Structure 1
Amino acid sequence: MVCDDDIKPLQRQKVCVIGAGMAGLASARELRREGHDVTVLEQSGDVGGQWRYDPMTDGADPLGAAAAPVKVHGSMYASLRLISARETMGFTDFQFAPKDGRDVRRFPGHREVYLYLKDFCDAFGLMELVRLNTGVVRVALAPGPIPTRQWMVRSVDLGKSDGAEEVEEEFDAVVVANGHYSQPRLPSIVGMEVWRGRQVHSHSYRVPEPFRDEVVVVVGCGASGKDIAMEVRRVAKEVHLVAKSMEEVTQELAKVLSKYSASLHLQLHVERLCEDGRVVFGDGSSILADTIIYCTGFNYSFPFLDTEGAVTVDDNCVGPLFEHVFPPSLAPSLSFVGIPVKVFAPWFFEAQAKWVAQVLSGKRTLPPEEEMVRSVEEYYRAREAAGAPKNYTHDVSLFDTTDYI
């Protein structure tokens, strides 16, 4: 029998959540449910993160290579639809059910997800926690002893055109949930810097019309690469879809390539780009192209975060992170929600957020720092032994069986 005197009261923490996308909203809901004082900082004018379609692009820097962060956060193209059924895209207690007058398809378009997240905010009263148009400038540890570790968060009101002053606030904990589909990841191809044509990253792609009557090379055979190649094919003179290897060419893609062989061509590997506009492929063949669209993924980017080297990003591996969430030396006051890819969202983010909220309240505990470090190192070694590249560290679809709840 346990006496009431032996039951520790739950701790109420002042927590800052960075980002009001799917991961940030999941975090806010779980943190408040656990009794924490929550503030969500969101740089755009509404919630939804990437699911809030933004027709604007980084026009002056279509490759997004000039600096981090990019000026336009959104990377959603206008025609994007879910590749996962809506039954797998809901929170555990707030299903993504069809609604009359909206997109009721089982695989709806991006706006339906955005409206669902708006409904989620309304259902759980989350908007009162969110500060919109608020850019996070810096997140760093406040001076002081480790047992009473605090975080200083400096932000600025982006809604003020007259140049608002930066505001600094102190928090007990910070949850980083700013997403990872904004900062373009570019390949290294000989001649990129001198090629005379137009080069853009999928981050800056919205609609196919700008590519009408052009010869377009689409580099990357993932979901977005195939989507964009098929869409641009309708208006372009011809499209060349580049895969790394034949392993990327699925039976389904092969059928599509055969059906549209007059305007859609498969190429394996870009060898180099020539100043005269030619694109030379791995087999020695070449074409004269107008535009290259790089559908080569995104980099994790936390330009606001200053941990003095405790958390780094090396070839898209954010680490060290215990179970992709807690940096051992800064846990539990700093955590990341939404880092893994190829997971069922949002319930995966919900599970992570629940774990973070309960650790911060004292309901659950983390292993000692040394044990967390050892676990991360073992995970890295196992990934390496399995032949997984470092930049796939957070691809947990086939490898990681983490259970957060």
Structure 2
Amino acid sequence: MVQLVQAVLSLLPLSSTLFQNPQQSIVPPLSSQSIAIVGAGSGGLAILKTLLDLPEDVRSTWEIVLYERRKDVGGLWLEDTRPPSPPRLPESPVYPLLHTNTPHPTMTYPGFTFPPGTPLFPSHEYMWKYHVDFAEKHNLTQYIRLNHVVLAAGWAGNSTTGQWKLEVARTDRLSEHELRSFDHLIVANGHNHYPRSPKWDGEDDWLASSPPSQPKREILHSIYYRHPERYINRTVVIVGGGASGRDAALQVGRLTKTYQSLQEGSLPPDGAQVTVKPPISHFTNTSVVFTDGTALTDVDSLILATGYQFLAPFLVHYPKNSGVSSPALIHSPDSSVNSTTAQSLTTNTRYIYPLYEHIFSLSPAFPPTALAFVGLPVLIANCPSDRAQALFISHAIADPSVLPSRGEMLDALVLREENLRERGYDPYYYGHKMVGGDSEAQAYQNALVRYLKQQGKLPEDEKDYVEPWRVMARQQSQLIGRAWSRVEELGEQNKWLDGVRTEDEWADVMQRLADWQVKWEERHGKDFDTYA
């Protein structure tokens, strides 16, 4: 089978019928099905909605349950308002000043826009409410069990047949476990919860040697970051240049002496008041020492913007008294185990493998449609990507013959990994990242949907899933962001947003903003302090 992510990047308009009628020819199920979904973020809501979009005669006998451990839907966008208290992990990494770094129309489920008047780069409150509105609009809440945690999940069966045994509890009654059985398990628990915190030689001694005249030294992951004012009168090193690292640099750097430790070739965000340093080498009792041999003796705080681990803890435990004796997911750092030799589904905390198209487990322990993941790809617009994955999963559950053979799927996975190596990327390190940027991310989504069309599961046409306006807006995201900053400085938000409701209208606003900003920068250059 042709590797899906190598699809041709012909970016044509999306047919509006794709989501009004997301099925064409589906083999009716031979029997009733039961499906458990874990997580009510963008991925969980996408797969729940897409399963319910299947024809009534296909899913009428299905049981579909979504378990969400928190009090509402929205995933990471649902803020944890409790003060951070290490080592307790916050329920969300969201911080009060968090805004999206891409225009919100590019991040939406196809056909479901943000409300009129939403700022183009909204705060996290808007993002959370968007998911709430999506769930309510499509009557998803009746299938969602809030405040329910899946403690363990194990497969009772073999490579062709069996069931999942799930140990579930209410979050307010964790000692009272319920054992449930399901035919399919869909994991949509996100990947921004378990911090990846590097360790350096000497850091414990450095932490224990705080000078009496200075604040107590600390090393905290960015999951605990909330208010930049907390760092006033401290000297800070921000480690990493991802989204949270860029925000911390912009927010903390304007208030106190700040360094940013970056890999070679990385740069701090425009406007950040930081001094760039190379990666950290080690610590002494008095210093943070960098790989170029330089050292800093006045540092009080490190903010580790170093990413998160790919974990699904409930899959590494099997329910008590369930008849299951081995975990569904092995946590192994063994670099000698790869997609072709792994005897079980495996995570090295950067990569879950072997998975077909970042979705279906190729573990020999159970059928490929028994376990699926939504939302693993990184550096991608989540809601549209989750929707594309959800379409693929839904049709494969309804008709498993949609999928190639296990051998063909494994061959395709190995081809993808080899392709990454040829481009200079270790697939077991870069994992689920779309390293080719938006072009690769869009090709991935287009290919999933195009394959379903070729299989007769969606209406056949020549249009790509990712619409041209999303492509344009993603390509010009920074330009549009600079334009929107000018709009806010001028107080002209209403002028641009008045009456904007549909996708076409949002697309028009973004294109006009991009054109407006280009003309302004041709006259003035990128002088962000003066909007004349």
**TM-score bracket for the superposition, by shorter chain length:** 0.7 to 0.9
Deviation sequence 1:285-318 (CA, Å, 0-9, x none): 2222111110011111111103164211125011
Query: Counterpart of 1:289 in structure 2: which amino acid?
Result: V
Unmatched segments (≥5 aa) in structure 1: 1-5, 62-69
What is the rounded CA distance, in whole Å, between the counterparts of 1:45 and 1:18 in structure 2? 14
What is the rounded CA distance, in whole Å, between the counterparts of 1:57 and 1:281 in structure 2? 32
Q: CA deviation at 1:174?
A: 0.3
Q: CA deviation at 1:397?
A: 5.0
Q: CA deviation at 1:8?
A: 4.1
Aligned match for 1:147, one of 160, 166, 185: 160
What is the rounded CA distance, in whole Å, between the counterparts of 2:83 and 2:375 in structure 1? 24
Q: Using the TM superposition, name which of 315-324 and 111-120 deviates more.
A: 315-324
> Which structure: larger Rg?
2
What is the rounded CA distance, in whole Å, between the counterparts of 1:364 and 1:338 in structure 2? 23
Aligned match for 2:108, one of 70, 90, 107: 90
SS at match of 2:238: strand
Unmatched segments (≥5 aa) in structure 2: 1-24, 208-216, 316-326, 331-343, 450-532
Asked if structure 2 preserves the Cα contact closer than 8 Å seen for 1:42 and 1:135, the reply is yes
SS at match of 2:95: coil
Q: CA deviation at 1:55?
A: 2.8
Q: How many residues align?
A: 374
Deviation sequence 1:186-241 (CA, Å, 0-9, x none): 224222232212010001111123212101111112221121122112333x1111
SS at match of 2:203: coil
Provide the aligned C-alpha RMSD in A: 2.0
Aligned equivalent of 1:172: 183
What is the rounded CA distance, in whole Å, between the counterparts of 2:27 and 2:394 in structure 1? 16
Q: How does 1:151-300 map to 2 (within 5 A)?
A: 151-160=164-173, 163-196=174-207, 197-236=217-256, 238-245=257-264, 247-249=265-267, 253=269, 256-257=271-272, 260=273, 264-276=274-286, 278-287=287-296, 288-300=298-310
Q: Do residues 319 (structure 1) and 353 (structure 2) align?
A: yes
Asked if structure 1 preserves the Cα contact closer than 8 Å seen for 2:309 and 2:350, the reply is yes
Aligned equivalent of 1:367: 404
Asked if structure 1 preserves the Cα contact closer than 8 Å seen for 2:104 and 2:120, the reply is yes
What is the rounded CA distance, in whole Å, between the counterparts of 1:308 and 1:300 in structure 2? 11
What is the rounded CA distance, in whole Å, between the counterparts of 1:360 and 1:7 in structure 2? 10
Aligned match for 1:9, one of 28, 39, 51: 28
Aligned equivalent of 1:395: 433
Q: Do residues 351 (structure 1) and 388 (structure 2) align?
A: yes
SS at match of 1:88: helix
Deviation sequence 1:78-125 (CA, Å, 0-9, x none): 1111111111111112122435xxxx2111111101001000011011
Asked if structure 2 preserves the Cα contact closer than 8 Å seen for 1:208 and 1:232, the reply is yes
1:166–1:40 Cα change, 3 Å = same
- TM-score, normalized by length of structure 1? 0.87
Aligned match for 1:132, one of 146, 155, 160: 146
Q: Do residues 307 (structure 1) and 307 (structure 2) align?
A: no
Asked if structure 2 preserves the Cα contact closer than 8 Å seen for 1:13 and 1:361, the reply is no
Query: Counterpart of 1:256 in structure 2: which amino acid?
Result: G
Query: Counterpart of 2:166 in structure 1: which amino acid?
Result: V
Q: Using the TM superposition, name which of 344-353 and 281-290 deviates more.
A: 281-290
What is the rounded CA distance, in whole Å, between the counterparts of 2:310 and 2:41 in structure 1? 15
What is the rounded CA distance, in whole Å, between the counterparts of 1:190 and 1:57 in structure 2? 30
What is the rounded CA distance, in whole Å, between the counterparts of 1:114 and 1:92 in structure 2? 17
Structure number with higher strand proportion:
1
- TM-score, normalized by length of structure 2? 0.67
Q: CA deviation at 1:7?
A: 8.3
